[in-house]
Structure 1
Amino acid sequence: MPGFLWRPQQVASVRATYRSAMAPVFLVPGSSATQNRFNELVTELNHETTTKHSLLRVEVMTNGEIQYTGSITRKDNQPIIVVGFQNHHDGCDTIKKQAVWFNLAFRQLQKTYHFNHFSAMGHSNGGLVLTLFLEHDLPKDTYAERLMTIGTPFNLEESSPDVDTPLFKELSADRKRLPRTLTVYSIAGSEGYAGDGIVPFDSVNRGKLIFQGNVRHFTQMTITGANANHADLPENQQIVALIRSDLLT
């Protein structure tokens, strides 16, 4: 009888602490960008690393169908998986749909590759997609380790600090659902004094009101200099170095 009572507790404990060998890094592009958005970035990331990372590109169609290009090399424990969407237009409604589509792709990939922990990077609205996913759809016994958002407009294009968009209100209201073990890096670009040319500083800075105090670590950075405008941020050499050191380590 003591053995029967002890065994379920042991199984639950092992399940809670087990980490799969594979821990993919998901990349999600922003509006108007496809699953090919980060091809050059991945090439650059692999340029100075002894261990090369596979690249699997995923496109989720509006009907939920999932298409794949590329592959994951055998024994690659940290492949890079880019998730793009057939509908990659801008707008709050589209962002919410993309979060649902990302969840479909994530669960299918998890079923195929049997991983239970991961890290992720989202550029622009891709950071919103990932934040919505982490708040609403993260599967049970799956561990989000690190999240990097680059030029992500948590208050959309609103530049006034006195105005909260409905999306920001939703993200803020559900912030307690974020995984407590998560480490978050929020990066803003600086083309001028007000933002990166597209996203206002205040909108990026709103990330601290969502993550700070609700995740294990939160770090906010501003990148200046060459390639610090919104579109060029993922290829900015400072950000490439941050991705290499903070997501691929």
Structure 2
Amino acid sequence: MGYYLEDGVEERNVLERNLAAYIHPINTAGSGGGQQGTDRWASPTFFDPSDAGASGFYALNAYNSWIDNAASGGFAGFTFPNAPRAIKDHKDIKRPDGFPFNPSQRPLIAFRGNTAHSSGYQWEHGSCVYFGGFLIYRNSGGTPTLFYNNGRGSIQADYLCPDPNWPASDAANAGKDCWVGAARSTMSEDGSQPAFLKLEDTVTALCNVGVNSWGDRMEMARLQAYDVTKGAAFLGDSWLSDSIFKINTTNSENGWSQWPWTDYTKYWEAPPIKGFEW
């Protein structure tokens, strides 16, 4: 990882005018056919399985300010995996009202003026900016063990659920945080209502997808994407405005950038190319 907010409790930080470059996933990079991704388990030699998705900027909790940063290389330039709870030393943390703390519900404070390139080439949904994948605890020989999938995957149960300390006043919902897929359900700062992830003035290049969000709500303004198979791919309620996508530039001596799918002599013969997918 380049800049790594690991446990899911890191909030209100400002990451501004930083460079992350030459990032490489540990072991085999997350890939997989279609949207399923590949599974990774923590082990004595692979302490955090999300390192298969090592990226320039990584956070389970988006509630920070990301301003004018640049990322080059990695599984993604910026990645925000879904997690139903904080991890490691903070896995049992609660909200003030006694409910489990869910870092994946936190909104962005600001995501503005960031750039990313030369990322997300390991699989067809690889992205310069990626809200997806999930990191949870699962049962491995009777021990809660971190488990990571870089795609949407199938919905999995968090082994630490149901929470035995769930408030008695809400016993009917004691298991509702036990299920997680890659869909990120962003809430407002105070957690009282649904909210949108908001990104502004992002520039991406040389990735399979410019910005990919497998979440419930996304608002994207002034996105630029160059040399990509898709400028953006969103799920749920989405807003995209004032953006420009150029699927293939003339940034090479051959008249086009040779990216992506460089084994094709003509980019229009490659697998489906789309400006936007929803």
Shorter-chain TM-score: what band?
Answer: 0.3 to 0.5
TM-score (norm 1): 0.34
TM-score (norm 2): 0.32
Structure with more of its chain in helix, by fraction: 1
Structure with more of its chain in strand, by fraction: 2
